[in-house]
Amino acid sequence: MSAGARKLEEENKSLRETVARLTEEKRKSEEENTKLREKLANQTNSPPGLSSLQLPSINGQSADYTSK
């Protein structure tokens, strides 16, 4: 294997590791966001008359939580 090909293999491996790390970070962030959204949706101290709370879209997904 030539030195150029070896360098490309090493760069490819590094990029794959970076993608795997970022994918895991995104998954953890999405889990935390879900937990926080559920916590917010379940809060009972909302002002009277507030039946719905709309949050901005995140990653193209709209958020509409009805208070319980």
Tell me the C-alpha distance between 32 and 24, whole Å: 12
pLDDT of amino acid 41: 86
Q: What is the pLDDT of residues 4-21, one digit of tens each?
A: 999 999 999 999 999 999
pTM for the predicted model, two decimal places: 0.55
- Assess contact for 30 and 58: CB atoms under 8 A: no
Identity of the amino acid at 1: M
Q: What is the pLDDT of residues 21-49, one digit of tens each?
A: 999 999 999 999 999 999 988 876 655 55
pLDDT of amino acid 28: 97
pLDDT of amino acid 1: 82
